[in-house]
Amino acid sequence: MGRIITHVKIKNLLETSSILSCDALVDTGAAYMVLPKAWMDRLGKLTMVREVDCETATQELVKGEVCGPVEIQMEGFSPVYGEVLFLDMLPVDGVYEPLIGYIVLEQSQASVDMLGHRLIHTKKTDLK
């Protein structure tokens, strides 16, 4: 299975000059837009909505901070509004790997094209 990486721009809606741009891994097993806690200051002052317990892909249990409000825009898709999850992450070779989870994908009407290893526009929003 290939990896799908896409460019994403995240803007603090309370401090609109605070914008973070990065490449992120599409992870349909993750729920939120997940960013390293080390980048928290880059988005200015956000409101911590809640603290959540998270299980990572390696089955490690970690605490995360859900913060917002933010605008999230994946390249080629309309912006959506919601929250980000900040986690303590370890960089690999000095590079962090943010994740785009299924909540952002569904809000953006983006689907994973498994054969083409890319994101495609979903024509309809599923309400069932």
Q: Which tens digit of pLDDT belongs to each residue from 80-104? A: 999 999 999 999 999 999 999 999 9
Q: Is 6 helix (H, G, I), strand (E, B) or coil?
A: strand
- Domain extents in the chain: 5-121
Q: What is the mean pLDDT of the chain?
A: 94
Percent of the chain clearing pLDDT 90 (strictly above): 88
94's tokens: 């000095």
Full-model pTM? 0.93
Query: Is residue 49 predicted with pLDDT exceeding 80?
Result: yes
CA distance 112 to 94: 28
CATH number listed for the domain at residues 5-121: 2.40.70.10
